[in-house]
Structure formats: structure tokens, C-alpha cells
Chains A and B, each alone.
Chain A
Amino acid sequence: MASLVIAEHDNAVLKDATAKTASAAAQLGAPVHVLVAGYQCGAVAAAAARLPGVEKILIADAQAFARMIAEPMEQLIVGLAPGYDAILAPATTNGKNYMPRVAAKLDVPQVSEILAVESPDTFRRPIYAGNAIQTVQAPAGKKVITVRTTAFKPLEGAGSAPVENVAAPADPGISKFVSEELSRSERPELTSAKIVISGGRGLQSGENFHLLEKIADKLHAALGASRAAVDAGFVPNDYQVGQTGKVVAPELYIAVGISGAIQHLAGMKDSKVIAAINKDEEAPIFQIADYGLVADLFKAIPEMEQELTRLGY
């Protein structure tokens, strides 16, 4: 049988979390199908059809899926499950929301946030904020898996998979979408940016994040934050990097005014290069930083900006 990947998208654009999840799915060895559940999402299905190594696209286009609300998503996926050995979704807030419902309905354990596929039933996943890595074997039967997308590279190449419509089951009618307040930004998305610059409590205020924005603009970086900066209201909740926020693994992560608590490290320590600016030379962030600058950020960040300008950035 095949593996089913649930696409991440916003009805207009296919997110690259999908390609990375498909790449994890390909390692299970069975043909990969992708389900695009959304509303007026034909363009997304067309984009999914071009993913390499995908055999078939299923599209379920109905109002109930417009925001991937968990209850209708569960019904749809559970309905398709008999045709699949494995069902995979990216560990986004959407995937985390609907997938455990699917697992419970299928009466199988879910394997959360896999980092690697050892064999079709054995996976590596982080526990304790990534301070330990568990190798787990799922029991015989269907596999329900969420994927930590930073751990998988998309497959190369282009495909041309056929797109097939699937009927949408009736909305269970117990939940409804009311509204959404999305933080709009011209910058790259936090989880897919090549460079991330994050601020912590050391920034002292939301206004001071403008200092980081100037650097971010020059480097085409995404902005992130520690929990303390989010809790203090400096930046929106979706900036939080960490064990219980977003996991990022860019080419370069710059931590500014962040102490380096284990919960924060859990979300960024797989970055290729880490730079840290902190006025406390004992700050734990320096224990994992490739480049550490012990300095007052209010002096160092403007200097960094000037230097970048001088070099033509």
C-alpha cells in the first residue's frame, strides 16, 4: 500500500513543509500520495503535483477544510485511511492539531515529530526538549506520524502526478472557524528562512526590535524571539522559537539578548552556524554558539548594521 502525506498550505500556496514531509514519507519505501484538503485550493494541488517522487494527488475542496479545522480534517483522513499503511503530516500547528485525532480513531499510537526514518516502522524523535533522542518502533498496523520538517530535505527534481478529487464527508458541525489574526510580514517565514535573528528579554521593549529588523532587512532574515520576549508582549506569539514554539534550523541563527535556556535551545540548536550577542559572558547561549560577542546589544547591533552597510549589504 501507499503512504499519505497531508499537505500544508493556505489555499493559495503550498508550504515547503509539504515537500519535506513527502521526503520523509519516501523513506518508508512505499508510493507517496499527497492529500490537499482546503477550499478553492486547486492551485495548491497543481503545485503538489509537481513535487518529485509523488504518485498521486488527492484534492478535497470544501468550505469545511478552509482552515484545516481538526474535526472535519479527522473525518476526511480517517475515511481515506483504509487505503494507506502510513499517514504523515508536518509537525506544524495544523498537523499537531488534527493528527492525534486520526491516530486515536484508528486506535494506533502517534509517533510525534520524527527526526529520522531508521526503517519503515522505526523512527528517531526528540524527547525532553531534545536533550535525549528516542529510537522507537511502531507496532504492526497503520503508522501515524508527524514530521519535524527541519530534519528532512525536500527531494530534488520535478514530478507530474495526476490529481484526483475525493468527496468531502459532512462537517461534524461541532466546531466552527470564527476569525484569524495573522501577523503579516514581508520577511521570509521563520521556519524556512536561511537566516534567523532572534531577540530576547534583553531587547527590553517591542520598539527595540526595530534594531533587529534593520539587520534582518539587510540579510533577508526572519525575525524570531524567546518566550520571555513574547510573554512580555514585545512581539507576537508566532515568533517564539523553542521546545514549545517553532523549531528552526537555518544556515545562520543570531541570538540577541537571549540567555539560552534549554527550552530555547531546543528550537534552534540544529542551526548550521550560531552567533550570540549577550552582555553576560556566562550566558549559557555561549556554550553552543560558534561565534560569541560579549557586548551590550544596544551598542553592538547598530555597529553591526553600520558594518553591513559599509560592506554593501
Chain B
Amino acid sequence: MKVLVPVKRVIDFNIKVKVKGDQTGVDLSNVKMSMNPFDEIAVEEALRLREKGNATEVIAVSIGPQAAQETIRTALAMGADRGILVKAEGDVEPLAVAKILKAICEEEKPGLVILGKQAIDDDSNQTGQMLAALLGWPQGTFAHKIELSDAAISVEREIDGGLQTVELKLPAVVTTDLRLNEPRYASLPNIMKAKKKPIAEKTPADYHVDATPRLKVIKVTEPPKRRAGVKVKTAAELVDKLKNEAGVI
């Protein structure tokens, strides 16, 4: 069984973004870019399935600018077998990403697609669910633990009240939550090896998908700022302020 892992190139999670003065977006010039953290978890899970003998091949896909090739290389250095780069400039919305992924699934016929639950730039939390719907496949979102059997996968999910387990017929879509695993670091020899692994280059047109955004961004602004308040010296003073000044207890 093949496993497909979509990986997105995003601003590194450690960096606090700055909104551009002209309100057209955030400033991404000269900032560190990385693989979306949830996608690292997705790659790790796919590799573990291959190492357990459940999967035969792990394919990393990224939709984005030429530089997204680096994100695919990161996945290959972790251990993925090959990559597909679908070149597109500017924002590609979850629905368009899902349509491209659907076409790739029809070509590659994976048994499982593992995505991140959320890209930390657009915070959409949509792509995996949209892909599953377009394919008519079941989904196990916010995965905490997965277990594969012959024709099904059991997914323990992180939900608002705790944990929920669902069983899905394969093929299926899984999206990762933080506790699914701890992704490995790529070793130097594996980084070298990754340079020789193949990456196919495509465009949205190859899959007959129009990747033009459909939501119109009117503006991007800074959120209201909070200011630091006062320091108190003791716990008793804190209680007093909360009670008598703020009136919240």
C-alpha cells in the first residue's frame, strides 16, 4: 500500500509574523520557512507504517512555489521515497489543494493519505476533510493514534471532550494531531541520500485544476494589542486586585 503525505511550506512556527504596512498580507521576505509542524508528524507516521511493513512506499507532495521543493527534500531526508512538486505561485486555497490531491490520488492510488490537521499559516483546518469528501473516502481527523488492519484503519481522535475512536474502511484520509508521534530528525547521511531521490514537477493545469483563489482578501490587519499591566508583589495582593480592582472574582 502506498501512503501519500501532503507537506506544506509555511513560516517557521517560532517566528512571530508582521503585518505589512499596506495591509495586503504578512511580511514573508527573509523569514525562516519550514515544513508545517503537523506535516512532519504526518511524514513520521507514514514512515513508521512503512517500517512496520504496512506501507510499501511513502510519497511526499507539496503545492507551492519552486522553493517548496526544499520542504519535499526535508520529507525525503526523513525517509520518504519520492516527491511530487505541484508548482503554483501565491496562496492556493484548501479546496484547490484538495482537488489537486484528489487527481494525484486517482493516479497513484494510495491506500492512505496522511495530512496535517491544520496549516499554521492559514489556520484553515480544511484540506484533509475536503480531500476525503471529494474522493468519497472516510476520514479520521485530529489523530492521536492509528492502527491498521487489512481493510480498515482504526483512528483514535482528539476531540473537545477527550478521545474518540472510529473505524474507517480503506482507502482513507487521516489528519494528524500533536500527540500522534514525535517526528525524527533527518540524519546527515539521509540528507545526502535525499538529494538523489526523485521529485516529479507538475502544475495545477496538469491535473486540470484552476488554483486561482476564490476568497477575496480585502485586507490583513494587526489584531488589537494588549499592553502589559502591573506587577504585584504577593499572592494576596493579586487576589485583592482581582477582587477589588478588576472585579472578576
A: residues with CB less than 8 A from B are: 10, 67, 69-71, 74, 92-94, 96-105, 107-113, 122, 126-139, 172, 174-183, 191, 195, 219, 227, 230-231, 236-238, 243-244, 246, 251-252, 262-263, 269, 272-275, 277, 281, 286-295, 300-301, 303-304, 307-308, 311, 313
B1-9, B76-84, B127-135, B185-193: which lies at the interface: B127-135
| B165 close to A131 (CB less than 8 A) | no
Q: Is residue B246 within 8 Å, beta carbon to beta carbon, of the partner chain?
A: yes
| A126 close to B163 (CB less than 8 A) | no
Tell me which of B169, B220, B233, B248 has the highest count of chain A C-beta atoms within 10 A of its own C-beta. Answer: B248
| 17 A-B contact pairs sorted by A residue (CB < 8 Å) | A10-B161, A74-B133, A93-B141, A109-B215, A110-B94, A110-B126, A113-B123, A130-B223, A136-B216, A174-B137, A244-B120, A269-B223, A273-B248, A274-B229, A291-B231, A293-B232, A295-B235
List the B residue with the shortest CB-CB distance to A285.
Answer: B228
**Contact mask B117-161 → A, CB, 8 Å, 1/0?**
110111111111111111011110110100000000010011111
| A251 close to B248 (CB less than 8 A) | yes
Q: Is residue B217 within 8 Å, beta carbon to beta carbon, of the partner chain?
A: yes
State A43–B126 Cα separation when bound (angstroms): 31
| B129 close to A100 (CB less than 8 A) | yes
State A287–B246 Cα separation when bound (angstroms): 18
| A133 close to B222 (CB less than 8 A) | yes
Closest CB-CB distance, B14 to chain A, in whole Å? 9
State A70–B179 Cα separation when bound (angstroms): 22
List the A residue with the shortest CB-CB distance to B213.
Answer: A109
**Complex interface: chain A residues within 8 A of B158 (CB):** 93, 237-238
**Complex interface: chain A residues within 8 A of B17 (CB):** 128, 131-132
Closest CB-CB distance, B125 to chain A, in whole Å? 5
| B235 close to A126 (CB less than 8 A) | no
| B123 close to A230 (CB less than 8 A) | no
Closest CB-CB distance, A270 to chain B, in whole Å? 9
**Contact mask B212-226 → A, CB, 8 Å, 1/0?**
001111111111001
Q: Is residue B249 within 8 Å, beta carbon to beta carbon, of the partner chain?
A: yes
| A97 close to B141 (CB less than 8 A) | yes
| B123 close to A195 (CB less than 8 A) | no
Q: Is residue B202 within 8 Å, beta carbon to beta carbon, of the partner chain?
A: no
When A109-B95, A244-B117, A287-B228 are in contact, do A127 and B122 touch as well, CB less than 8 Å? yes
| A131 close to B16 (CB less than 8 A) | yes
| B218 close to A122 (CB less than 8 A) | yes
State A237–B166 Cα separation when bound (angstroms): 17
B: residues with CB less than 8 A from A are: 11, 13, 16-17, 19, 25-26, 38, 93-95, 98, 117-118, 120-134, 136-139, 141-142, 144, 154, 157-169, 177-179, 214-223, 226-239, 241-243, 246, 248-249
**Complex interface: chain A residues within 8 A of B234 (CB):** 293, 295, 303
5 pairs of A and B residues whose beta carbons are closest in the complex? A100-B129, A290-B229, A303-B235, A101-B133, A104-B130
**Complex interface: chain B residues within 8 A of A127 (CB):** 26, 121-123, 220
**Complex interface: chain B residues within 8 A of A237 (CB):** 144, 158, 162-163, 177, 179
State A289–B226 Cα separation when bound (angstroms): 8
**Complex interface: chain A residues within 8 A of B128 (CB):** 100
| A238 close to B122 (CB less than 8 A) | no
Tell me which of A113, A179, A243 has the highest count of chain B C-beta atoms within 10 A of its own C-beta. Answer: A179
| B235 close to A136 (CB less than 8 A) | no
Closest CB-CB distance, A30 to chain B, in whole Å? 20
**Complex interface: chain A residues within 8 A of B164 (CB):** 67, 177, 179-181
State A301–B130 Cα separation when bound (angstroms): 46
State A180–B11 Cα separation when bound (angstroms): 35
| B231 close to A292 (CB less than 8 A) | yes
**Complex interface: chain B residues within 8 A of A289 (CB):** 228-229
When A94-B160, A174-B169, A292-B228 are in contact, do A129 and B236 touch as well, CB less than 8 Å? no
List the A residue with the shortest CB-CB distance to B123.
Answer: A127
| A263 close to B13 (CB less than 8 A) | yes
Closest CB-CB distance, B230 to chain A, in whole Å? 6
When A230-B179, A246-B160, A252-B248 are in contact, do A293 and B231 touch as well, CB less than 8 Å? yes
Closest CB-CB distance, A36 to chain B, in whole Å? 18
Closest CB-CB distance, B181 to chain A, in whole Å? 12
Tell me which of B26, B139, B221 has the highest count of chain A C-beta atoms within 10 A of its own C-beta. Answer: B139
**Complex interface: chain B residues within 8 A of A135 (CB):** 217-221
List the B residue with the shortest CB-CB distance to A269.
Answer: B226
| A139 close to B215 (CB less than 8 A) | yes
**Complex interface: chain B residues within 8 A of A304 (CB):** 235-236, 238-239
**Complex interface: chain B residues within 8 A of A122 (CB):** 218
